[in-house]
Chain A
Amino acid sequence: MTPFTQHTGVAAPLMRSNVDTDAIIPSREMRTVSRSGLAAGLFAPWRYSDPDKRIDNPDFVMNQRPFRRASILLAGANFGCGSSREHAVWALVESGYRVIIAHSFATIFRNNAQRNGLLAIELGEEQIERLVRWISADPEARLLSVDLESCTVVHDPEQPAEVFSIDPVARDMLLNGLDEIGLTEQSLDRIDAFEAQDQIKRPWVYLERL
């Protein structure tokens, strides 16, 4: 996994609540058995006035000039709700997004983001409003800087940075780009020991070995 330490970029405001993963990447855009080839389908229902012909909808934030090269997304509550499809995260990452700042996230989306080096930051509504207000005057020049070491989002240099909190384990994994499976494999002896005890306690759980 790509480590995440610090990132500065253009932030696009998509200030809606309950942005679901069907909107982020619709089922019909997931055409191959692969984690890639998904960027063109990102937000297809909103981004295109005609998704089949790929005709841009000029009203959608990502089609507006400053936001075409956005790498940070700002959103409302419950971002990434709905389907568990990790394709939503893969499509965002493939499109160049490194950070999503939202009022809250659906759990599966946040877990998926975490495992793909996409930083999901929860901030209060007022904090997000401050960010949106600040960037809106000149989105191309007014970049946001996210620092995972200090857990801050720097915006207006005249103002204090917004501070966020994140689970320490999640932070460590992101900072070091750790492979979670490799990490857990270091505890295989603990898993074996758990099973040995559990087989006595809950023998019905353990089906015949294949």
Chain B
Amino acid sequence: MGIGRFIVATTLFDKLWQEHEVMTLSERQSLLYIDRIFLHERTGSVALDGLLERERSVRRREHAFCTMDHIVDTRPGRGDDTLMPSGRDFIVSTRHAAHETGIQLFDIADADQGIVHVISPELGIALPGLSLICPDSHTCTLGGLGALAWGVGSTEAEHALATSTLRVTRPETMRVLYTGRLAADVTAKDLILFTIRELSAGGGAGYAIEFAGPAVESLSVEARLTLCNMATELSAFTGIIAPDQKVMEYCSGRPYAPKDALWDGASRYWQSLRSDEAAVFDCERVINVSSLQPQLSWGTSPQHCIDWNATVPKLSDAHDADQAAAWERAQMYMGVKGGSPLSDYPIDAAFIGSCTNSRLSDLRAAADYLRRTGARVAKGVKALCVPGSGQVKRAAEAEGLHDVFLNAGFEWREPGCSMCFFAGGESFGDGVRVVSTTNRNFEGRQGLRVKTHIASPLTTVASACAGYLTADTPL
């Protein structure tokens, strides 16, 4: 790491980098050891097929896992078929390739099946300090546990499967320090949306970001996963949070987590994983969260966010001509006008789910709003709740949350990525307006001409019941 080697104080990211360094390849590039590989049927099947075609094997089968989440249908009674006729091919070919290579597959009917970034912490496959890759950009989610986790392409995944390593260019380090305390109705989702709004969609490019400060320490482990999930929307290499006692409690007893004496050694070591007091980051940003409001996106990039009760920016407020042009395109696509409040826009659909917000605490927050207010989904709004995993679904049902959602007019689905990106060919319909707990409001992300507003589960459920965009959630 150049001069860094002579500096005693080290960042958490640099410690994990050094720990996984098999050899250096150039000044900036190293061969890193990969502890865990996770695949899914959208991009993982291509990696496995590539391996089989070239007659290579998975170097450590026990460290590679696969799930069905991206294409699999989420409607009750599902099988291998999807609305998109070719969806079945992805599922069948992934199953075949997983069996051929001998890696663990969480298949459609498996009790532990679910969204990759929901099940990997849930099963203890992702753990603090471990390096984990997946051909999926939201792999940075696992930084919430203190894992060194990042998204790669299919070819890189193939490299990791074959060699247990990756050739990686070292990013610089950034710390985002949150000061102050979050208000009760403000969630980790609002925190990360605000951060992207502040730093911009390219603001994390070339950096591994450590999220720190009292506002982060106060977050539950699931909320930390939500925060790190969207580090990729900053174009960051990854996001990471130093593991603490809450993380130890979260990981303890998970099926793939170490047990007994191994656990003692691991947890002692994990709690030492933090940036040294005097560690110097290449870039430091401080964000005060005390007056943070629930966030809603108005445009077609996650950086296009505003306080829920503010107005859509006017083109005349843009910093330069490029930004004005981008805003104009976004406003035209979204059918929103500069200067108007978002409550002016009736919604057609609401979606609770995805690797960002489909964990038990997300579902509880939304169900709690429904119970508290007795509100129902507004007439004409199609609302879906898709738990992130089989475990989340069973836990939610044991608490009766499914009845709360169903009675309020939500559909209650099987686990998977679902409407986050038109999975399996399903969409809310051409050009409709959707409020969504997902991570991307890109043009066409949820289907042709679909207008996506991203928000927290609380804002999403409040909007679903109001019939328009709002975060008015009486406590």
Contacts and interface: CB of A to CB of B under 8 A. Distances in A.
Q: Do A and B bind each other?
A: yes
Nearest to A201: B19
Interface stretch (A5-13, A139-147, A188-196): A188-196
B135 interface: yes
Nearest to A112: B153
A32 B90 CA distance: 7
Nearest to B85: A31
B346 interface: no
Interface in A61-81: 76-78, 81
Contacts of A191: 22, 31, 33, 163-165
Contact of A190 (B23, B86, B301, B445): B23
A51 interface: yes
Given A202-B269, A210-B61, A81 B167 contact: no
A115 B19 CA distance: 26
Interface stretch (B200-208, B365-373, B396-404, B454-462): B200-208
B250 interface: no
Nearest to A79: B202
Interface stretch (B154-162, B210-218, B287-295, B408-416): B154-162
B183 interface: no
Contacts of A17: 202, 322, 326
A205 B35 contact: yes
Contacts of A83: 136-137, 421, 440
B151 A108 contact: yes
A207 B265 contact: no
Interface in A6-48: 16-18, 20, 22-23, 26-28, 30-35, 45
A2 to B, nearest CB: 14
Interface string B435-461: 000001011110110000000000000
Contacts of B28: 167
Contacts of A112: 153, 155-156
Nearest to B422: A27
Contact of A33 (B46, B162, B233): B46
A114 B237 CA distance: 16
Contacts of B43: 84-86
A204 B46 contact: no
Given A22-B440, A184-B31, A33 B45 contact: yes
Contacts of B129: 202
Interface string B13-56: 00000010011011011010101000000110110010000101
Interface residues of A, number: 58
B84 interface: yes
Interface residues of B, number: 79
Contact of B258 (A85, A115, A204): A204
B102 interface: yes
Nearest to B161: A181
B86 A78 contact: no
B63 interface: yes
B423 interface: yes
A81 B164 contact: no
A195 to B, nearest CB: 8
A179 to B, nearest CB: 9
B266 A82 contact: no
A78 B235 contact: yes
Interface in B290-310: 301, 303
Interface in B58-109: 60-63, 84, 86, 89-90, 93, 102
Nearest to B169: A167
B409 to A, nearest CB: 27
A159 interface: no
A203 B265 contact: yes
Contact of A188 (B60, B163, B202): B163
Contacts of B165: 184, 191
A138 B326 CA distance: 26
A208 interface: yes
B360 interface: no
Contacts of A31: 84, 86
Given A86-B46, A89-B153, A112-B153, A181 B162 contact: yes
Given A33-B46, A111-B153, A28 B422 contact: yes
Given A86-B43, A207-B63, A210-B62, A45 B443 contact: yes
A157 interface: no
A198 B49 CA distance: 30
B281 interface: no
Contacts of A106: 202, 205, 235
Nearest to B166: A184
B338 interface: no
Interface in B150-195: 151-156, 158-159, 162-165, 167, 169, 171
Nearest to A184: B163
A158 interface: no
A111 B445 CA distance: 23
B159 A180 contact: yes
Nearest to A89: B153
B240 interface: no
Contacts of B49: 33
A115 B156 contact: yes
A150 interface: no
Interface of B: 19, 22-23, 25-26, 28-29, 31, 33, 35, 42-43, 45-46, 49, 54, 56, 60-63, 84, 86, 89-90, 93, 102, 127, 129-130, 135-137, 151-156, 158-159, 162-165, 167, 169, 171, 201-202, 205-206, 232-233, 235, 237, 256, 258, 262-263, 265-266, 269, 301, 303, 322, 326, 329, 421-423, 425, 440, 442-445, 447-448
18 contacts: A18-B303, A18-B326, A22-B445, A27-B422, A28-B422, A33-B46, A51-B448, A82-B440, A82-B442, A85-B153, A86-B46, A108-B153, A111-B153, A111-B156, A180-B155, A184-B159, A191-B163, A210-B102
Given A23-B443, A84-B43, 4 more contacts: A18-B301, A52-B448, A81-B233, A169-B29
